[in-house]
A and B are shown apart, each in its own frame.
Chain A
Amino acid sequence: MVNHLLSRESKGPTGLILAVVALMVVFSFLNPRFASVENLQNVLFQSSVPLIIVVGATLVILMGSIDLSVQGVMGAAGMAWILITPNTRTGLDYGVWAWVIALGTGVALGLFAGLIYERLKVPSFVATLGTWYVGLGIGIMLYGNGLLPSLTNEALARWPTRLTLGIPNSFWLAGAVVVVGLVIMNYTRFGRGLLAIGNNEAIARSSGISVSRYKIMALAIAGGLSALAGILATMQLGSGSSDIGSTQLFTVIPAAVIGGTALSGGEGGVLRSSLGVFLLVILNNGLVLAGVDPDYQQGVFGLILILAIVTVAWPHRNRLKVAK
């Protein structure tokens, strides 16, 4: 089964795994603490939020679209969740319904973007950019002028870091999302349909795949996952903030690209994008541990991104290749 899962992703991700391993070796050399159990747990903890997002983002990118709305959806859902979970501000406790409502907010925002994209034929870039602001606006309005809401439920606030079998709960959640993402991608008609759309939308349409519904649904799932990430991030922080998702977009999209998921659609997969997330999180963590001047962090990040994509693309150069 696992073998089957892996084989369906375009080409083996061996190169990527090697890159991750190489990076780990270099960083362990620079600071022996890098390879400590605590740090590996730390890396898993830090990758869990972007991992959840990257699954949704990959579904969307595989069909050739893009989802920029991550930050807004996370802000809206995170705020919605914390305000109806035991907190210092409202004192409301909706229990499970808090999750349902927050995830619902994310799915609704995803649907909103999807409908604008598919029904109004506004490019996904713009539809999701607009949704980013709309979500952020909802988060800001929920935040209002009141107190900073913090979780009062100790168990809930500790849950993300608590270890189960030596692995933080956050990562168990993210891992489950990745597995579900892999199953959707490889074992459902929906997932295969997204690949078909990414490969050639016109054919997908004419061969009767309900392209519109698939697209809207992919964006809705991405919205739901961003919402889940927003909840997890809020839980990790212990307090609500409408900016909870800031900078996530610029981790997740490069991660997908480094993983070899083509922005034009049809190529790549959840597993590869996840490896891309690991690569970037390890890079960030390693730079801190190695004591690189923070001013240079963005630059090193940019350089690695360029090197990674150029290395992948270099052998495929050809006089007539079109790369956009």
Chain B
Amino acid sequence: MMNKIQTISSSQPSFGGVIPPGGLTRHRVVAAWHALAPVLVFVSMLLIVGILNPNYLKPLGISIVTASAAPILFVALGQAMVLNIGSIDLSNAAISMVGAILVALWLPGMGVMGIVAVLAVTVAIGILNGLLVAVTQVPSFALTLGTLGLLQTAALVTSDSQTIYISENRELIAALYSTSLLFAPLTFWIGVFVALVYWGLLSLTRLGLGMTAIGKNERAATLSAVPTLPIKVITYAISGLSGGLAGLAIVAQAGSASASGLGSNLLLPGIAAALVGGTSISGGQTNPINVVFGALTVAFVPIAIQAMGFGAEAQSLVYGLFIITVVALTTSRVRGAVIK
């Protein structure tokens, strides 16, 4: 993958490594900043907008931000897990599109089983991605760009280029969106729950340890008998599952799905949310809980731009500057590391 912070290199010139004195405290400070930055960025942005217009801090404001964050959050969580093993999944937003279309197609006839079936399909797509990446050993950026194309076609073909509106059994899924808890829709809370599960997976299981090890140094992980192939496949399956959940969130919100509808533009926001949440694009570093704040931030940016009264024409420009600024504030910088 690109943008790699190359901390490991077979031939970096050095005169033997000794911990630079003072490195210990620095290490702690940097670690603390990483843990807090995504939260701080979101909170300060919220405060600024809140001062300009207090309505955004009221229940409706919160429900709006969390509602638009939910689909981004799922995609970002899946992306963060893949970025953590040092790969990327450019197809996961398209998976959520296909997932949404399948939900809309299957829910009326199959009910809850339809949802289960859709998640099974998206997981299967993820597994296929993972197998292709792990077995053929090609760069995931290029490979998943290919599956992205395939999924776009799949979305058009399965939906017959129509917008599929759910008329029957809609309440099964609409409740996920219309039910709110602490002003946020259930879809958002499910996202938070998934983030907690992913966090637990990464920090408390051997599987998670293996994932992070692969992301930080795949060769050493392989030589330490970490089962890289199954772990990659599982990671992509998780990305597929997250995509499927994003699809559910989209349908819960929209009650309908189409190949170019809500969710067709989730790829870049998803990556941005993962990065703003402190995930390193070079692998080996992510905290799913911070990704929640990343998703909130990314969902909040267009709202904030609107709230601060920038003209419609200036939105793109401000959005671009904002993303750069936020990532500049939250990105992990290792002294002397190669940033790609």
Contacts and interface: CB of A to CB of B under 8 A. Distances in A.
Interface of A: 61, 64-66, 72, 116-117, 120-127, 129-138, 140-141, 143-144, 200-203, 206, 250, 253-254, 257-258, 262-265, 295-306, 309-310, 312-314, 316-324
Given A138-B317, A302-B149, A320-B222, A125 B3 contact: yes
A202 B13 contact: yes
Nearest to A206: B13
Given A250-B145, A257-B142, A302-B145, A136 B320 contact: yes
Contacts of A313: 136-138
A305 B138 CA distance: 11
Given A121-B331, A124-B2, A265-B340, A306 B143 contact: yes
A289 to B, nearest CB: 19
Contact of B12 (A126, A202, A253, A304): A202
Task: Determine chain A's interface SS by DSSP, over half rule.
Answer: helix
B152 A299 contact: yes
B31 interface: no
A302 B147 contact: yes
- Size category of the B interface is 35 or more
Interface stretch (B48-56, B163-171, B243-251, B321-329): B321-329
Q: Is the interface of B mostly helix, strand, loop or mixed?
A: helix
A295 B339 contact: no
Contact of A317 (B87, B136, B218, B339): B136
B277 interface: no
B9 A66 contact: no
Max chain A C-beta neighbours (<10 A), residue from B3, B5, B148, B331: B3
A263 B333 contact: no
Given A137-B315, A302-B145, 9 more contacts: A72-B320, A120-B328, A123-B282, A131-B324, A132-B320, A133-B323, A299-B153, A300-B149, A300-B153
B201 interface: no
Interface of B: 1-6, 9, 11-13, 86-87, 132-133, 136-143, 145-154, 156-157, 161, 218-219, 222-223, 268, 271-272, 275, 281-283, 313-321, 323-324, 327-328, 331, 333, 336, 338-340
Contacts of B149: 298-303, 305
A133 B317 CA distance: 6
B320 A263 contact: no
A134 B321 contact: yes
Contacts of A120: 324, 328
A69 to B, nearest CB: 9
Nearest to A301: B149
B157 A295 contact: yes
A285 to B, nearest CB: 17
B153 A298 contact: yes
Given A201-B338, A262-B139, A296-B153, A133 B319 contact: yes
B331 A122 contact: yes
Going nearest first, the 3 A-B pairs with the smallest beta carbon separation are A302-B149, A137-B317, A133-B320
B253 to A, nearest CB: 25
Contacts of A61: 2
A264 B146 contact: no
A314 B143 CA distance: 13
Contacts of A203: 11-13
A21 B156 CA distance: 31
Given A295-B157, A305-B145, A324-B87, A121 B339 contact: yes
Contact of A263 (B1, B137, B319): B1
Given A202-B338, A299-B154, A123 B324 contact: no
B314 to A, nearest CB: 6
B6 A263 contact: no
Contacts of B331: 121-123, 126
